[in-house]
Amino acid sequence: MNIKLTIPERLKDLRIERGLTLEQLSEATGISRAALGKYEADDFKDISPFSIAALAKFYGVSADYLMGLTETKNHPNTELEALHLGDNAIEVLKDGQFNHRLLSELICHKDFQRLMLDAEIYVDRIADMRINDMNAVLEAVRQMVLAKREDSTNDLYLRTLELAQVPEEEYFGHVVADDLTKILRDIREAHKTDSTTADEPSAAAQAQQQLQTAMNFEGSSDEKKARAFLVTFGIDYDAITKEQFVNLIEVLRLSKHMKSPISQRGKSDMTHGKGKRKRK
């Protein structure tokens, strides 16, 4: 995901958030449509002080935000006291050794409060007593059944009573981890098309899959090797004619890697190109 938005990205996002076209924004701010388009273009180079002031006033954000000097859009003058952060937390945030934008998206996610609530229950051991009481009741019942049954090694009821007892540490550790995983999955999905996000699937994975498909081809060993050659060089197997495929195998015969000789009779048995017209 992008760590920091560029000036064109910030300007475009603000305009799209308000559902405005460049023409409508030009009419509202007095800045020409051509200039606004240049400000949002990938090859952006400069923006006039007048435009910065006009756009910041129109969008209700600070000039520093538009210029990428701060990630704070709507609260440029908020005092630290209002954030209720301790000194150590402020030092961590000032240090900047992490992705601030990702942290902001975590906090702003709709399920962040649920994550914090579950974390608080776990850290403060609020539910410990109830879970322990439940486990104690289940274990007492299990012991009563054990006392009455002689052969209870593989008893379904007893095993159920045993597994129903959940350690508090394990239960809430899973709950908190599940909360965080859901939030991160949503953020990951939202940034799937970012320029800094890895392709899905990767080119290496695609090439590996194509090579595997070539080697699983139901044909002779020479045909499989020829198909693998095509994959390696990015040539579509279905885009060549049978004659071209045969000629390719003849050329590959000259390679020391094509160990087994190609039978001339085998040419007529090749599966490639059947039912296709010859290409001229």
Is residue 49 domain-shared with residue 28, that is, in the same domain?
yes
Choose the final residue of a domain: 164, 190, 216: 190
Q: Is residue 86 part of a domain?
A: no
pTM above 0.95, yes or no: no
Longest distance between any two alpha carbons in the chain, whole Å: 90
Q: What is the CATH number of the domain that holds 28?
A: 1.10.260.40
Please, what sign has the CA dihedral across residues 236, 215, 198, 194? positive
Q: Is residue 143 part of a domain?
A: yes
Is residue 21 domain-shared with residue 52, that is, in the same domain?
yes
Segment 234-247 shows an average pLDDT of 85
* Domains in the chain, number: 3
Q: Is residue 196 part of a domain?
A: no
Place of tokens 């003849």: 250
Do residues 115 and 176 make contact, with C-beta atoms less than 8 angstroms apart?
Answer: yes
Choose the final residue of a domain: 163, 190, 217: 190
Distance separating alpha carbons of residues 105 and 275, to the nearest angstrom: 56
Choose the final residue of a domain: 190, 215, 240: 190
DSSP string for 120-177 = HHHHTTTTHHHHHHHHHHHHHHHHHHHHH-S--TT-HHHHHHHHT---HHHHHHHHHH
Q: Is residue 195 part of a domain?
A: no
Do residues 104 and 41 make contact, with C-beta atoms less than 8 angstroms apart?
Answer: no
Q: Which residue range(s) make up the domain with 254?
A: 203-269
Quick: pLDDT tens for 33-89.
999 999 999 888 889 899 999 999 999 888 888 888 877 777 666 777 888 888 888
Is residue 14 domain-shared with residue 46, that is, in the same domain?
yes
Q: Is residue 100 part of a domain?
A: no
Quick: pLDDT tens for 192-229.
876 565 555 555 666 677 777 777 777 787 888 888 88
Is residue 124 domain-shared with residue 184, that is, in the same domain?
yes
Is residue 159 domain-shared with residue 217, that is, in the same domain?
no
Residue 270 has a pLDDT of 52
What the block records as the tokens of 155 is 């008893």
Q: Is residue 95 part of a domain?
A: no
Q: Is residue 99 part of a domain?
A: no
Average pLDDT across the chain, whole number: 79
Q: Is residue 85 part of a domain?
A: no
